[in-house]
Amino acid sequence: MKLNVTILLAALVCTAHAKLNVVTTLPDYAALAREIGGDLVDVTAMGKPTEDPHFVDARPSFIVKLRTADVLIEGGAELEIGWLPPLLQTARNSKIEVGASGRVQASEGVHLLDVPATLTRAAGDVHASGNPHFMVDPIIAKAVAAHIATAFAAADAAHAATYQANNQKFTATIDAKLQEWGRAMLPFRGQHVAAYHDDWLYFAHRFGLDVNVFLEPKPGVPPSPARLAEVIGLIKANNIKAIIVEPYHNRKIAEKVASSTGASVVDAAQYPEALPNTTTYIQLIDVLVARITTALKH
């Protein structure tokens, strides 16, 4: 009997250890990791849902997490270049090195849009290698989920079939929802939309909008009064009805532009849990579609 208890305890300890330690740079990757990994993974996102992904506050606890990570999921398109490299240098974990099976670079195989002809970070431009905000395109999210399933299967072969089944389920759900989202967005095809920062390009591309006026003169550069005067002119000229802002943007500036033009401010986010009722990736896209279509109807 005593032996059985020992075996049972050993089994419990073993099960606890069997969970994959997954670290993600941002909460969108964490949401996908939970879809694919379920109860088999422990997921930590370094960036908070309402935090600016270009400037995440790099805390020492992240190094501890990275040191014991089995899998790291990051964008691979320089969105996190300002804060991730020093953390990885200090963590020194060969499992999550570039090229290792424990490293998921989400942009692998993604056709990045707006890649500049010349590589420069001049004037604060934070999109020097192409626009890195691709996760709000659900078709790209499917590809990223597949990368994640492959990495989890490599790190935990015993549960490979579960990870692949979860990936198939996620893919099927996205495919079904794409029909619904597409129908909701269809009446607004070709409409121009403004945004504080240039991070709706892939969403717009997927759903037929043209998000082409930005409050920031360049990505990462705050708008000056002269820029705002110019933006007001562009919003009027393009009959723009919606200005998309995110939690870490200066909403007051967007409100001023809105009151001068008759457009409405849309509180949006690129990360699950930044808005109410957006625990999962699919819920996030549901809420984005609802909020944007509501603003465009007016």
Binding site for Zn ion (CB under 5 A): 199, 219
The smaller minimum CB distance to Zn ion, of residues 78 and 156, is found at: 78
Collect all residues with Cβ–Cβ distance below 8 Å to 4 and sequence separation of at least 6: none
Measured distance CA(143)–CA(140) in Å, rounded: 5
In order of 48, 57, 133, 275, the CA distances from 72 in angstroms are 16, 18, 18, 25
- For Zn ion, the closer of residues 74 and 199 by Cβ is 199
| Closer by beta carbon to Zn ion, 55 or else 67 | 55
Pinpoint the alpha helices (H) of the chain: 2-18, 27-37, 60-67, 84-91, 138-155, 160-185, 201-207, 225-237, 251-261, 281-297
In the complex, minimum distance from the CB of residue 72 to Zn ion, in angstroms, rounded to a whole number: 21
- Separation CA 75–CA 144 (nearest Å): 10
Closer to Zn ion by CB, 270 or 293: give it: 270
Dihedral (CA of 159, 162, 168, 172) sign: negative
Q: Whole-number minimum distance, CB 53 to Zn ion, in Å? A: 7
- Residue 287 CB, shortest distance to Zn ion, in Å, is 21
Q: How far is the CB of 220 from Zn ion (least distance, A)?
A: 7
φ/ψ of residue 104, rounded to 5: -105, 115
Least separation in angstroms between residue 65's CB and Zn ion is 24
Give 70 or 199: the residue with its C-beta nearer to Zn ion. Answer: 199
The H or E element containing residue 264 is strand 264-267
| Closest CB 246 distance from Zn ion, rounded Å | 10
Q: Which is nearer to Zn ion, 199 or 273 (CB)?
A: 199
Report the nearest approach of Zn ion to the CB of residue 133 (Å): 6
3-state secondary structure of 200: coil
- The residue (of 124 and 233) whose beta carbon lies closer to Zn ion is 124
Q: How far apart are CA 45 and CA 62, in angstroms?
A: 9
3-state secondary structure of 92: coil
Q: Which residues contact 178 (CB under 8 A, 6 or more apart)?
A: 138, 139
